[in-house]
């Protein structure tokens, strides 16, 4: 069934524009509460955890959600700024009915969104999202006073999550003698990430850890690594770790300032687990995964499969195959033996554990991955724009694929989180890849409304 509001990662948009308005989010909270009260067994009142990132609009949307849920008879637990994966963990650990995150992830501060986790810490099943959408079409109401939900704050949420992250790092290892620069993107990990790595023994220098409501993801974090590269060189650090605004993406930088994306980091984790006999099955990537990563896994006889872009599709394929490791080149890495969802801090710990156990460097651990040049261009367009029907776009795609032949790939897709069409071209020649990416992007721009 086609969704009206939910995308690949919840509901997202510009604050003040439909659907990210106080009135809609109030109705969303009520609709979600109604669905939860219907599915709750045993007659107990459902309880939902709400976390958020550091955007200024989070205060407003948090209040609207809380009111809607309470009106539906659902208790609310508030944790304030918390990473998306922390909400997933706490929802499961506290045996709650659901978790809700107010965040637009890597988007700028004037966007925001709402995403849900089920009681087991996983993304909501499709049927539940559809049930919530159906409930949104019904009038907003309110239960009698005796049945209204209550709200309270969880004061020890940060400490609980820090300990959980640390528990995923091998007990026999530590990070003593390692200097790390940690960039929290002025986002939801600003008061968490540095503590995790410091408490495991690292000398930590923090940047991007002073949110003001407006600077989330602004020229920092996983989507803007230049600040981290400069800081690593200035501090003469061993490694740099960059997270995004809600803490589920990871990018790393070595002492020379070289960037390692999700594909390379996923390979390091997979190769280490294969060597230790701990890799269950293979690795799931996406249509955007670099060919070099696929070939490197193949040389180790590690099975590889591609899912559609989006961590929910990666997770679906992992579960269908019984595999424990998957991710995206954007830095979403899912280690199902450690967590139910992608987690930037935990993914970084898996990489650090791999290189510490092997007494090597990130450069050497990832060195066997020979990445193909890949260019990604975003073209602003209506999210539901059907680019496949445009004749000039079809011609540009055909010409590009013919020129690249079997040594390259062309991928055109609508983003599930932003109003853009993503143009990706990959091949052996960087010059050719860049040229064809621009040709296709120009064709899309001319055809897009």
pLDDT in tens, 287-338: 999 999 999 999 999 999 999 988 889 999 999 999 999 999 999 999 999 9
Can you give the residue range of the structural domain that contains 210?
A: 174-257
Which of 86-95, 282-291, 397-406 has the least mean pLDDT? Answer: 397-406
Q: What is the pLDDT of residue 43?
A: 65
Q: Does residue 209 sit in the same domain as residue 97?
A: no
Q: Does residue 268 sit in the same domain as residue 350?
A: yes
| Beta strands across the sheet bearing 420-426 | 374-380, 420-426, 409-414
- Asked if residue 383 has pLDDT above 70, the reply is no
Are 197 and 175 contacting, i.e. CB atoms less than 8 angstroms apart?
A: yes
Determine, yes or no, domain membership for 217: yes
Are 199 and 169 contacting, i.e. CB atoms less than 8 angstroms apart?
A: no
Catalytic residue chosen out of the listed positions 57, 97, 103, 105: 105
Which of 60-69, 154-163, 240-249, 393-402 has the least mean pLDDT? Answer: 393-402
- Rounded Cα–Cα distance for residues 337 and 20 (Å): 35
Q: Does residue 338 sit in the same domain as residue 230?
A: no
Determine, yes or no, domain membership for 2: no
Instruction: For residue 422, give the CATH number of its domain.
Output: 3.30.310.50
- Rounded Cα–Cα distance for residues 22 and 6 (Å): 17
429 is annotated as an active-site residue: no
390 or 214, greater pLDDT: 214
Determine, yes or no, domain membership for 4: no
Q: Does residue 247 sit in the same domain as residue 326?
A: no
Determine, yes or no, domain membership for 252: yes
Predicted confidence (pLDDT) per residue in 252-266, tens digit: 999 999 999 999 999
Q: Does residue 150 sit in the same domain as residue 237?
A: no
**Entry pTM:** 0.91
Q: Does residue 284 sit in the same domain as residue 239?
A: no
Predicted confidence (pLDDT) per residue in 12-41, tens digit: 999 999 999 999 999 999 999 999 988 766
Provide the 8-state DSSP code for 255. Answer: T
Identify which of 375, 409, 376, 397 has the alpha carbon closest to the alpha carbon of residue 295.
409
Predicted confidence (pLDDT) per residue in 44-53, tens digit: 789 999 999 9
- What's the structural domain count of the chain? 4
Q: Does residue 20 sit in the same domain as residue 126?
A: yes
Q: Does residue 18 sit in the same domain as residue 133?
A: yes
Rg (CA), the chain: 22
ω before 161 within 30° of 0 (cis)?
Answer: no
Identify which of 166, 82, 159 has the alpha carbon closest to the alpha carbon of residue 348.
166
Strands 420-426 and 374-380: antiparallel
- Rounded Cα–Cα distance for residues 449 and 447 (Å): 7
Instruction: For residue 229, give the CATH number of its domain.
Output: 3.40.120.10
Determine, yes or no, domain membership for 34: yes
């Amino acid at each position: 069934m086609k969704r009206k509001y939910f995308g690949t990662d919840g509901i997202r948009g510009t604050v003040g524009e439909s659907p990210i308005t106080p009135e809609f989010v109030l109705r969303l909270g009520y609709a979600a509460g109604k669905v939860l009260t219907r599915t709750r067994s045993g007659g107990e009142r459902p309880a939902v955890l709400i976390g958020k990132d550091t955007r200024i609009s989070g205060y407003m949307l948090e209040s609207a959600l809380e009111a809607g849920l309470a009106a539906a008879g659902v208790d609310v637990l508030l944790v304030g700024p918390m990473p998306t994966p922390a909400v997933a963990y706490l929802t499961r650990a506290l045996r709650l009915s659901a978790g809700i995150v107010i965040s637009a992830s890597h988007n700028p501060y004037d966007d925001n969104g709402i995403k849900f986790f089920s009681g087991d810490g996983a993304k909501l099943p499709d049927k539940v999202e559809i049930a919530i959408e159906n409930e949104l079409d019904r009038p907003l109401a309110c239960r009698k006073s005796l049945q209204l939900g209550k709200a309270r704050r969880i004061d020890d949420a940060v400490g609980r999550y820090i300990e959980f992250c640390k528990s995923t790092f091998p007990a026999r290892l530590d990070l003593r003698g390692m200097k790390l620069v940690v960039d929290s993107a002025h986002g939801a990990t600003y008061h968490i990430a540095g503590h995790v790595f410091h408490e495991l023994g690292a000398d930590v220098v923090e940047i991007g850890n002073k949110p003001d409501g407006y600077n989330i993801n602004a020229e920092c974090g996983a989507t803007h690594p230049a600040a981290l590269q400069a800081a690593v060189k200035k501090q003469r650090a061993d490694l740099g770790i960059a997270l995004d605004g809600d803490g589920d993406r990871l990018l790393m930088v070595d002492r020379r300032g070289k960037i390692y994306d999700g594909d390379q980091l996923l390979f390091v984790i997979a190769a280490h687990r294969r060597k230790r006999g701990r890799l269950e099955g293979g690795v799931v990537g996406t249509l955007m995964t670099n060919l070099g990563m696929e070939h490197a896994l193949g040389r180790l006889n590690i099975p590889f499969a591609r899912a559609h872009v989006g961590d929910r599709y990666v997770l679906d394929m992992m579960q269908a195959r019984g595999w424990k490791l998957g991710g995206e080149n954007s830095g979403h890495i899912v280690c199902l033996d450690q967590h139910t969802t992608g987690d930037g801090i935990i993914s970084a710990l898996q990489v650090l554990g791999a290189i510490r156990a092997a007494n090597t460097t990130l450069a050497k651990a990832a060195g066997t991955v020979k990445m193909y040049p890949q260019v990604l261009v975003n073209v602003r367009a209506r999210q539901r724009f059907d680019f496949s029907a445009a004749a000039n776009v079809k011609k540009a795609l055909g010409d590009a694929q013919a020129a690249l032949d079997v040594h390259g790939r062309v991928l055109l897709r609508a983003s599930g989180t932003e109003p853009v069409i993503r143009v990706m071209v990959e091949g052996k020649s960087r010059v050719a890849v860049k040229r064809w990416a621009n040709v296709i992007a120009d064709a899309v721009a001319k055809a897009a409304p």
